[in-house]
Amino acid sequence: MQSVKKVASIALSVVMWIIILVAALYAFTTLATREDGSVSDIAGFTPLAVQSDSMAPTFNKGDLIFIKKCDTSKLEVGDIVTFHTIIDNEYALNTHRIAAIDEVNGMRSFTTKGDNNDVADTHIISDGDIVGKYVFALPQMGKVMDFLSSSMGFLIVIVLPMLLFFIYQVYHLIVVGMNLKRAMAEEDRLAAAAAIVDAEGKGDTTVTADNAAEQLAQAEAKLEEARRLKAEAEAAMNATKQEGTDGE
């Protein structure tokens, strides 16, 4: 039984860590673009959910791509970059391949194009527009991030499991406390029984031979009861300690 509880506790911990990691990834994905136009990153990497098939088959709509900060002076034609741009009269991040690089008076400009597009992008970008260079993609994980960005998805996948985990931890603490209280009560009962046995052993020594055997039998019975109570108390304390270890 204890082994089953231990396995269940480990499995629950693993699930919670996965939820926490997904939540962190969600936060950086959905909040990647700040109001001032800067982009969040984790150790230089930024996850972004792909919203179109303009770069298919390199990566597709619904994929999750990771970009990394880079030295724009080392970019070459053929590199895939994420950059600030305007799409449908709104600010956006776009990830396309560099189709051409032009340099005028030491200033470089980049023409970009989606692998699945027939024509190059309208907006010519500069070094300051580039956020980072494409590194790799996780197929279909962008859909997961998009789902998490919805209020329902965030509630179901992150908030609810964390709430259940919190309730479980509170319940576990209550159970441990009850077991500890029960063990302490058993110890008190053991001490009381031992005191009774000790008092019987030090009782009136003027007893007759007729009732000596009866008093001895009673003392032995109470001693046996004390031993039983002690064994139960020790078992309860060991169970409490084991549950405390399993919950860590």
**How many Å from the N-terminal Cα to the C-terminal Cα in the chain?**
17
Give which of 18, 69, 23, 74 is closest to 46, Cα–Cα: 69
Is pLDDT of 35 > 50? no
pLDDT at 154 over 80: no
Around 95, how many Cα atoms within 13 Å sit in the side-chain half-sphere? 28
Span 219-246, average pLDDT: 63
Q: What does the pLDDT average to over 85-105?
A: 89
**Is-above-0.75 flag for pTM?**
no
pLDDT at 188: 73
In 3D space, the residue among 23, 25, 34, 19 whose CA is nearest the CA of residue 138 turns out to be 25
Which pLDDT tens digit goes with each residue over 126-152? 999 999 999 999 998 888 777 777 777
Mean pLDDT of 171-180: 80
The three-state secondary structure class of 46 is strand
**Where in the chain does DSSP place strands (E)?**
45-49, 64-68, 80-87, 90-104, 107-113, 125-126, 130-138
Q: What is the CA radius of gyration of the chain?
A: 35
Q: What is the pLDDT of residue 238?
A: 64
